[in-house]
């Protein structure tokens, strides 16, 4: 199946006052992928999402959804979008079911059966006829997801969806989103700063920093590219200088670690046997060697530091 773009950002820019909050975004979100939108607090994630759903105007550029401009063809563009913006703010004085009925009435062709189906799917069956004011945050999050999926959107936008969910709920959501994307071809756009979560959930990750896109990659490439595991070595104190020289021969730099005999090197995991062989052949007594693989979090934080 060829993946077609569901969302196309075209020089999307948002300026409020004199501040450029989102700066010239240019990328596509494809059908069938879970797309992670990562960035520290205040990066402009929510602002971008607000533009995607037409809550705020785009200052420059445009966003196309299924080929329709959200600015000039709002109704056609939004028809295929479901989402939660920021918090799952629903009508507290209505029941969960009344909330869903409310949103169902706004799109033609949503049957009672569909409402019941979605209630079952998000696991709210027992409490659906209670007032939303009595729901926990996690339950409101689930109801929020239910209203977003009610009309079978081609694009699902979730702003920090794991907020308030318990670990089981997070895993369930992760699986649901993956299934939705991979089985039903929905484009899922998720913003978060829960990095470890994104790593497990997303196929592709875009990193936003101060309103600018600083990276966009498939999640595997994102983690492994540029080598970047850390190899910790412990050798006899008398041999540290020798070790440093040997490592310099490999065109790498060994850096003194926290312990007196400890060194660490930035390198790929698959280069470790090479290193080990070299040290052995030159008579270095290696006390310990271990590889610390970088998580997405490490990479993310590094990226943020570089940008500062």
Residues that bind ligand ATP (CB under 6 A): 16, 21, 39, 41-47, 193
**Nearest distance in Å: CB 107, ligand ATP:** 27
Q: Which does 2 bind (CB under 5 to 8 A by kind): other proteins, ligand ATP, Mg ion, none?
A: none
Partner in contact with 39, chosen from other proteins, ligand ATP, Mg ion, none, beta carbon below 5 to 8 Å by kind: ligand ATP
Residue 42 vs 123, nearer CB to ligand ATP? 42
Q: Which is nearer to ligand ATP, 17 or 109 (CB)?
A: 17
Residue 272 interacts with which of ligand ATP, other proteins, Mg ion, none, CB < 5 to 8 Å by class: none
Q: Report if residue 94 touches other proteins, rule: CB under 8 A.
A: yes
CA distance 232 to 291: 6
Question: Is residue 286 near other proteins by the rule CB under 8 A?
Answer: no
Binds 20: which of other proteins, ligand ATP, Mg ion, none (CB < 5-8 Å by kind): none
Judged by beta carbon, residue 62 or residue 271, the one nearer other proteins is: 62
Phi, psi dihedrals of residue 143, rounded to the nearest 5°: -65, -35
| The two structure tokens encoding residue 182 | 């991979």
Give the footprint of other proteins on this chain (CB under 8 A). Answer: 50, 53-57, 74-76, 78-79, 81, 83-87, 89-94, 98, 101-103, 105-107, 144, 147
């Amino acid at each position: 199946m060829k993946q077609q773009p569901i969302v196309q950002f075209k020089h999307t820019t948002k300026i409020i006052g004199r501040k450029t909050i989102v700066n010239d975004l240019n990328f596509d979100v494809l059908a069938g992928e879970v797309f992670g939108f990562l960035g520290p607090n205040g990066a402009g994630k929510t602002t971008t999402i607000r533009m995607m759903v037409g809550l705020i105007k785009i200052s420059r550029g445009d966003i196309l959804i299924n080929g329709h401009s959200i600015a000039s063809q709002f109704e056609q563009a939004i028809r295929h979008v479901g989402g939660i913006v920021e918090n799952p703010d629903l009508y507290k004085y209505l029941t969960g079911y009344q909330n869903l009925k409310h949103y169902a009435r706004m799109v033609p062709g949503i049957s009672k059966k569909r409402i019941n189906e979605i209630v079952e799917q998000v696991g709210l069956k027992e409490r659906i006829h209670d007032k939303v004011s009595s729901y926990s945050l996690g339950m409101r999050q689930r109801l929020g997801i239910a209203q977003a999926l009610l009309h079978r959107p081609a694009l699902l936008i979730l702003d920090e969806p794991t907020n308030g969910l318990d670990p089981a709920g997070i895993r369930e959501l992760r699986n649901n989103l993956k299934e939705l994307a991979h089985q039903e071809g929905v484009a899922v756009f998720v913003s978060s700063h829960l990095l470890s979560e994104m790593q497990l959930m997303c196929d592709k990750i875009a990193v936003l920093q101060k309103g600018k896109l600083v990276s966009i990659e498939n999640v595997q490439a994102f983690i492994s590219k540029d080598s970047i595991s850390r190899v910790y070595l412990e050798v006899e104190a008398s041999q540290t200088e020798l070790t440093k020289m040997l490592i310099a021969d490999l065109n790498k730099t060994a850096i003194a670690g926290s312990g007196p005999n400890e060194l660490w090197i930035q390198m790929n995991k698959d280069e470790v046997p090479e290193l080990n062989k070299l040290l052995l052949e030159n008579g270095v007594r290696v006390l310990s060697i271990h590889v610390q693989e970088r998580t997405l979090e490490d990479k993310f934080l590094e990226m943020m530091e570089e940008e500062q």
